[in-house]
C-alpha cells in the first residue's frame, strides 16, 4: 500500500516521545518505516529550586505535537488520521510525579535533572546494597519523606512522565518494565519490582505511619508486547483536540527514553549495547549476568523485555563542542565566509580525525554541568594544555572529540576491565555520530570495541516506541523482542562498522590517564565562584 492508503485504512502506528527539549511524533507503516512526523519544542522551568514541566505544558505540548503531525499528513498525503493500528508513549526516564486519590498532582513534576536527592539516594544505596541514582523515583520519594513534605501522606499514585500520559489516555496505571526499573530496581527473573527491596523500603518507612505501602502507589510493571489498554474517548480528545481520532486504539506499555533508544538501535539482546551521544550521553550494555558488586557510576536498569542493562549516564557530551563551533562560525562571518553550520561541523570533525592519537597532550573537560561519574557536582568547561604540548587545530578538535566521551570511558572501563563484560556489537546514535565515521572512530578507540551506526538510528526514541507499539500488535509469530527486531524490523541490517586501531586505542588510553590525573584542576575550577 501507499503511505496514504496505510493512513486511510488505519494501519499506521504512532509513537510519541517526550524528550528534554522536544516532543516528537513518528508515524510508521506496517513495514516499520517512518511516513510522517510532528514535533513540539519545549523547555523545563526552574521553580522553587527544582526543574519541572507543568502539567499544562505536558498536555499542550502533546496536543501541539500531534496537531503538527496531522498538519504534515494533510499536506503530504491529503488525508486525515481517523484511527491507528497502535500507539506508544515514551518519555525521559525517572523523576517524580505524585498524585492524590482524585488524580491531582501533589507537587510539580520533578524531572531527572534534579540533584536534591543526595541523602536519600545514599541511604537507599546502602540499604539495598545496590546503586540507587539521584534521579530515580524512589530517591525522590524517600527524599520527600526525609524532608517531611506535607504531600507524602496523600500519595495515591506515583509514576513517571510516560506512565502519567499513558494512564490519562487509557485509564490504565501501568508502566513498561524498562521505565519501571528507573523507579525502583526490577528483578530480571520476575520482570517486576524487586520484592526484597520493596520489603526493605516498607520496613524503613513503617514508623512514619503512612496509609500506603510502596506497591500500593506504583504502576503495574508490564513486559514489551503485553496488553496495556486502549485509547479511551477522553484520551482521544486529550491527544487530538480536533476530534477526528477515534478511541479504542491499542496502546503499548509506556517506556523510558533509554529503552526506546535500545529498540531504535536493535540493542536489546544480551551482549549488545548502544551509546547515545548528543547534549548528554549514555551507554547501555545488555548483561549476561549481574555485576559482582554495586558501582556508583553504573545504573542497572532493564530492556523493555526485562533483561538487565548496565547504564553509564553522563550529564555532558557535545555542548562544549557546539560552543567552540560557534566561535569558528563567528570568525567565518567576520571574514565574510559563507558555510552551512552542518558543513562547518563536518570540516572540524574531519580535521580532528587527523590529530595525534593522544591529542598531542592537550585535554578538554566538557562539564557544562556537574558530572557525578567523575565525582563532581558542579561543572566548568575547561581546556587544558602545557607549553610543550603539540597545539594545533587537529589536536584541538580531537581533544574536544575525546573530551565529549571521556566520562563515558571512565564508567565503561569498570564494565570492561573490572567486570570483564563482553559485547558483540555496540551501536552509536546521536549528533556526535553525524559526520560519517569520525565519532565512531573516537568511540571505538575509547571503548576498544567496534562501533556501528545505522541510517535509521537518527529516527530516535519516537521511532523506538512506535516499534514497540508495532511489536504489541503485529508480532503474530510470537517472537521475542530481540528476534522481532532482528528478523522483522532490521532484517539483517547491522549498519556501518568502524573497528578500533591499536594506535587510536593506545592514544586514547594516554589521553584518559592525563585526563584522570588532571581532574583536580577541574575540581578547583568548580570551586571558583564568579
Residue 530 neighbours by CB distance under 10 Å: 2
- List C-alpha distances in Å: 81 to 9, 66, 239: 9, 10, 12
Within-domain flag for 176: no
403 and 478 fall within a common domain:
no
Three-state DSSP at 377 gives: coil
pLDDT for 378 equals 84
The residues with which 90 forms a beta bridge, in sequence order, are 17, 255
The sign of the CA dihedral 379, 130, 89, 429 is positive
Average pLDDT over residues 178-203: 96
Three-state DSSP at 517 gives: helix
Within-domain flag for 455: no
pLDDT at 374 exceeding the cut of 80: yes
- Cell 578500533 appears where? 500
Within-domain flag for 153: no
**pLDDT tens by residue, 93-127:** 889 999 999 999 999 999 988 889 999 999 999 99
- Running DSSP on this structure, what letter comes out for residue 185? -
**pTM for the predicted model, two decimal places:** 0.89
Here the CATH number for the domain that contains residue 60 is: 3.30.420.40
What is the residue-averaged pLDDT of the chain? 95
pLDDT at 471 exceeding the cut of 80: yes
53 and 86 fall within a common domain:
yes
333 and 404 fall within a common domain:
yes
| First vs last C-alpha separation in the chain | 62
| Cα–Cα distance measured from residue 1 to residue 29, given in angstroms and rounded to the nearest whole number | 9
Number of domains comprising the chain: 2
pLDDT at 280 exceeding the cut of 90: no
| Cα–Cα distance measured from residue 135 to residue 139, given in angstroms and rounded to the nearest whole number | 7
Three-state DSSP at 15 gives: strand
8 Å CB contact between 430 and 276: yes
376 and 512 fall within a common domain:
yes
pLDDT for 457 equals 59
482 and 517 fall within a common domain:
no
> In this structure, what C-alpha cell is assigned to residue 283?
551507554
Within-domain flag for 313: no
469 and 512 fall within a common domain:
no
pLDDT at 455 exceeding the cut of 80: no
| Cα–Cα distance measured from residue 432 to residue 401, given in angstroms and rounded to the nearest whole number | 9
Q: Which domain holds residue 373?
A: 319-408+503-527
pLDDT at 458 exceeding the cut of 80: no
370 and 244 fall within a common domain:
no
494 and 510 fall within a common domain:
no
385 and 363 fall within a common domain:
yes
Average pLDDT over residues 450-457: 83
**pLDDT tens by residue, 419-436:** 999 999 899 988 899 899
Amino acid at each position: 500500500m501507499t503511505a496514504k492508503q496505510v493512513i486511510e485504512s488505519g494501519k499506521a502506528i504512532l509513537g510519541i516521545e517526550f524528550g528534554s527539549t522536544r516532543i516528537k511524533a513518528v508515524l510508521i507503516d506496517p513495514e516499520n518505516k517512518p511516513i510522517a512526523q510532528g514535533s513540539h519544542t519545549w523547555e523545563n522551568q526552574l521553580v522553587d529550586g527544582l526543574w519541572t514541566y507543568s502539567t499544562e505544558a505536558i498536555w499542550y505540548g502533546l496536543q501541539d505535537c500531534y496537531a503538527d503531525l496531522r498538519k504534515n499528513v494533510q499536506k503530504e498525503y491529503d488525508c486525515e488520521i481517523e484511527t491507528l493500528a497502535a500507539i506508544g508513549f515514551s518519555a525521559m526516564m525517572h523523576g517524580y510525579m505524585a498524585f492524590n486519590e482524585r488524580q491531582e498532582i501533589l507537587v510539580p513534576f520533578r524531572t531527572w535533572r534534579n540533584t536534591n536527592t543526595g541523602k536519600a539516594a545514599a541511604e537507599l544505596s546502602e540499604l539495598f546494597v545496590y546503586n540507587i541514582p539521584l534521579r530515580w523515583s524512589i530517591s525522590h520519594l524517600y527524599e520527600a519523606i526525609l524532608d517531611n513534605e506535607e504531600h507524602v501522606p496523600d500519595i495515591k499514585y506515583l509514576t513517571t512522565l510516560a506512565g502519567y500520559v499513558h494512564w490519562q489516555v487509557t485509564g490504565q496505571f501501568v508502566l513498561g518494565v524498562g521505565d519501571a526499573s528507573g523507579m525502583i530496581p526490577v528483578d530480571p527473573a520476575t520482570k517486576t519490582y524487586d520484592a526484597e527491596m520493596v520489603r526493605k523500603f516498607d520496613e524503613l518507612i513503617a514508623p512514619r505511619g503512612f496509609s500506603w505501602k510502596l506497591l500500593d502507589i506504583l504502576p503495574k510493571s508490564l513486559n514489551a508486547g503485553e496488553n496495556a489498554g486502549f485509547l479511551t474517548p477522553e484520551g482521544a480528545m486529550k491527544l487530538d483536540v480536533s476530534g477526528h481520532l477515534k478511541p479504542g486504539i491499542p496502546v503499548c506499555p509506556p517506556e523510558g527514553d533509554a529503552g526506546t533508544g535500545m529498540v531504535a538501535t536493535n540493542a536489546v539482546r544480551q551482549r549488545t549495547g548502544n551509546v547515545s551521544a548528543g547534549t548528554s550521553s549514555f551507554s547501555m550494555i545488555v548483561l549476561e549476568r549481574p555485576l559482582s558488586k554495586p558501582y556508583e557510576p553504573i545504573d542497572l536498569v532493564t530492556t523493555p523485555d526485562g533483561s538487565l542493562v548496565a547504564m553509564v549516564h553522563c550529564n555532558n557530551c557535545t555542548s562544549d563542542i557546539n560552543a567552540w563551533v560557534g566561535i569558528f562560525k563567528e570568525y567565518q562571518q567576520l571574514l565574510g565566509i559563507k558555510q552551512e553550520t552542518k558543513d562547518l561541523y563536518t570540516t572540524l570533525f574531519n580535521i580532528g580525525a587527523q590529530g595525534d592519537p593522544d591529542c598531542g597532550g592537550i585535554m578538554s573537560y566538557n562539564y557544562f554541568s556537574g558530572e557525578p561519574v567523575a565525582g563532581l557536582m558542579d561543572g566548568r568547561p575547561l581546556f587544558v594544555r602545557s607549553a610543550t604540548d603539540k597545539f594545533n587545530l587537529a589536536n584541538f578538535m580531537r581533544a574536544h572529540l575525546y573530551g565529549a566521551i571521556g566520562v563515558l570511558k571512565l564508567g565503561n572501563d569498570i564494565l570492561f576491565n573490572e567486570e570483564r563484560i563482553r559485547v558483540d556489537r555496540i551501536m552509536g546514535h546521536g549528533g556526535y555520530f553525524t559526520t560519517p565515521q569520525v565519532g565512531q572512530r573516537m568511540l571505538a578507540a575509547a571503548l576498544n570495541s567496534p562501533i556501528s551506526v545505522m541510517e535509521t538510528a537518527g529516527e530516535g526514541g519516537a521511532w523506538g516506541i512506535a516499534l514497540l507499539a508495532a511489536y504489541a500488535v503485529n508480532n503474530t509469530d510470537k517472537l521475542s523482542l530481540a528476534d522481532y527486531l532482528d528478523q522483522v524490523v532490521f532484517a539483517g541490517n547491522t549498519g556501518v562498522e568502524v573497528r578500533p586501531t591499536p594506535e587510536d586505542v593506545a592514544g586514547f588510553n594516554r589521553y584518559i590517564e592525563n585526563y584522570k590525573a588532571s581532574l583536580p584542576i577541574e575540581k578547583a575550577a568548580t570551586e571558583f565562584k564568579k
